[in-house]
């Protein structure tokens, strides 16, 4: 082939893009950077807003709630209940309830708001969230329950919710207490009156510190994978530099799911096994804690650790953002688990060198809200950056989500320039990820 013919062919190939194309790389663009402010603190230095929860009804109505936490002496602490009938563009406040940090869910013909704190208070609405009845206590008033808004699971005519419970040892710690938190699973029939204590069954409980030899002696049997990342000083906090400290390791903020794929190692063909994924507190990143709950023939539920084929127990499982609160949602249409959480970008900077706008330990970044999907709860695919800020003190985090047709609707605990910190946030923001299933690849 002559040189002229070779050059001519090359030019033709380049003109069709076979040998040459324009660069395709570009920065990641947030999926839902724009937002609607659903709630704003009147005093950001003293009144943070916490614990957003959102629910989409069959009618298309959106129901939401968040915590108004007035730290002023004698200040009001209450849950703000809202609805939207225009897809989240505008919101109407419907009620203020005296119990905090709960989650919204539907069961039968009613909506429920299950709060935390002493006595495990529950409220019911029979008019799609326009009004709410008085609180009913599901447990002894001295029992302490903790949880941020998390998912719910429906199976076999039942509803399942994972919770943390306080313990005597948790109250004795001079530190944050995930080491002594107990995890439990609650179950109730969908058609029952869920304001009645007898409607609910509770699983056995596992406490994190009971599972790891030497944890309470500050010598945990967890070598070779960097857990915990920092030293700790049970039952106290341990300084790590820069005014930051490490509390004893543990778990908090559980979600509940079931394995639906018959090919999965942990699949239960009888449908009696549930898996609990919880935020892990280790000082490191991208690990969650894993337990399972088995329904026994007598109707009781037993929590235990999951096993891998080698016979070893699996307490930790790789989950992006599993070191912070995350929200799990199963989509029947795609048969995928969707995870909404926080992205760490700078966990290896020494604690004493962190800038003042950073909150807590180096792994505790809260200004990037990200979305992942998985077919098996272990292998996670990045779906996109939902929303972010350039200032680590202005959070987009601790969000809840639900499916609204082809979209994801998200309620985020957020902050702007007036926020006290990334933790003490001053706004609740609504975001919409359009056509979220198109993100699957």
The answer to whether residue 135 sits within a structural domain is: yes
Q: Inform me whether the pLDDT recorded for 294 exceeds 70.
A: yes
pLDDT digits over 375-407, tens only? Answer: 999 999 999 999 999 999 999 999 999 999 999
pLDDT digits over 352-381, tens only? Answer: 999 999 999 999 999 999 999 999 999 999
The region, left, alpha or beta by phi > 0 then psi within -120 to 50, assigned to residue 88 is left
The answer to whether residue 102 sits within a structural domain is: yes
pLDDT digits over 108-119, tens only? Answer: 999 999 999 899
Confidence grade of residue 73 (pLDDT, cut at 50, 70, 90): confident
The answer to whether residue 111 sits within a structural domain is: yes
Per-residue model confidence (pLDDT) at position 5: 53
Count of domains forming the chain:
1
The answer to whether residue 403 sits within a structural domain is: no
pTM of the shown model: 0.94
End-to-end CA separation in angstroms for the chain: 42
DSSP lists the bridge partners of residue 95 as 81
The answer to whether residue 181 sits within a structural domain is: yes
Using only the alpha carbons of the chain, give its radius of gyration: 23
Cα–Cα distance for residue pair 360/42, rounded to 1 Å: 25
Cα–Cα distance for residue pair 421/260, rounded to 1 Å: 40
Q: Inform me whether the pLDDT recorded for 3 exceeds 60.
A: no
Per-residue model confidence (pLDDT) at position 27: 85
CATH for 165: 2.120.10
Residues spanned by the domain of 280: 42-363
What is the mean pLDDT of the segment spanning 277-286?
A: 98
pLDDT digits over 18-56, tens only? Answer: 444 566 677 889 999 999 999 999 999 999 999 999 999
Confidence grade of residue 143 (pLDDT, cut at 50, 70, 90): confident
Per-residue model confidence (pLDDT) at position 23: 60
For 180, residues 6+ apart whose C-beta sits below 8 A from its C-beta are 167, 169, 170, 172, 173, 207, 208, 209, 250
What is the mean pLDDT of the segment spanning 251-260?
A: 98
The answer to whether residue 252 sits within a structural domain is: yes
Q: Which position has the higher pLDDT, 104 or 147? A: 104
Q: Inform me whether the pLDDT recorded for 343 exceeds 90.
A: yes
CB 149 within 8 A of CB 102: yes
The answer to whether residue 393 sits within a structural domain is: no
> Sign of torsion, CA 419 422 426 428?
positive
Per-residue model confidence (pLDDT) at position 140: 87
What is the mean pLDDT of the segment spanning 11-18?
A: 45
3-state class (DSSP) for residue 353: helix
The answer to whether residue 148 sits within a structural domain is: yes
Nearest CA to 185 out of 156, 162, 210, 215 is that of 162
Percent of the chain with pLDDT over 90: 90
């Amino acid at each position: 082939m002559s040189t002229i013919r070779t050059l001519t062919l090359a030019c033709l190939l380049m003109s069709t893009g076979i040998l040459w194309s324009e660069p395709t790389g570009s920065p990641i663009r947030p999926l839902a950077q724009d937002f609607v402010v659903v709630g704003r603190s009147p005093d950001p230095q003293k009144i943070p807003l916490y614990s957003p929860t959102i629910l989409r009804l069959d009618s298309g109505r959106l129901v939401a709630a968040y915590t108004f936490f007035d730290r002023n002496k004698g200040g009001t602490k209450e849950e703000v209940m809202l609805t939207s009938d225009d897809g989240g563009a505008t919101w109407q406040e419907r009620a203020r309830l005296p119990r905090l940090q709960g989650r919204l869910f539907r069961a039968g013909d009613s909506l429920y708001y299950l709060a935390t704190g002493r006595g495990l208070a529950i409220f019911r609405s029979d008019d799609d969230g326009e009004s709410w009845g008085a609180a009913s206590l599901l447990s002894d008033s001295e029992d302490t329950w903790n949880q941020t808004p998390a998912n719910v699971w429906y199976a076999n005519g039942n509803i399942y919710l994972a919770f943390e419970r306080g313990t005597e040892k948790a109250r004795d710690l001079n530190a944050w207490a995930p080491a002594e938190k107990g995890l439990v699973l609650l179950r109730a029939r969908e058609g029952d009156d869920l304001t009645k204590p007898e409607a609910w069954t509770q699983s056995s409980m596992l406490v994190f510190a009971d599972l790891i030899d030497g944890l309470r002696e500050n010598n945990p049997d967890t070598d070779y994978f960097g857990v915990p990342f920092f030293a700790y000083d049970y039952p106290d906090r341990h300084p790590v530099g820069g005014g930051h400290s490490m509390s004893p390791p543990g778990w908090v903020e559980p979600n509940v799911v079931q394995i639906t794929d018959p090919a999965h190692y942990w699949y239960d063909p009888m449908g009696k096994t549930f898996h609990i994924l919880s935020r892990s507190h280790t000082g490191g990143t991208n690990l969650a804690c894993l337990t399972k709950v088995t329904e026994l023939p007598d109707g009781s539920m037993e929590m235990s650790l999951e096993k891998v084929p080698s016979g070893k127990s699996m307490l930790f499982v790789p989950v992006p953002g599993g070191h912070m609160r995350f929200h799990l949602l199963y989509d029947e249409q795609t048969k995928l688990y969707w995870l909404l959480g926080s992205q760490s970008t700078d966990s290896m900077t020494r604690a004493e060198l962190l800038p003042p706008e950073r909150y807590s330990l180096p792994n505790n970044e809260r200004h990037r809200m990200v979305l992942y999907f998985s077919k098996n709860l272990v292998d996670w695919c990045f779906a996109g950056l939902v929303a972010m800020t350039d200032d680590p003190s202005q959070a987009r985090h601790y969000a809840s989500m639900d499916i609204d047709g082809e979209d994801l609707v998200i309620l985020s605990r957020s902050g702007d320039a007036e926020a006290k910190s990334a933790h003490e946030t001053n706004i609740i923001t609504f975001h919409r990820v359009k056509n979220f299933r198109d993100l699957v690849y």
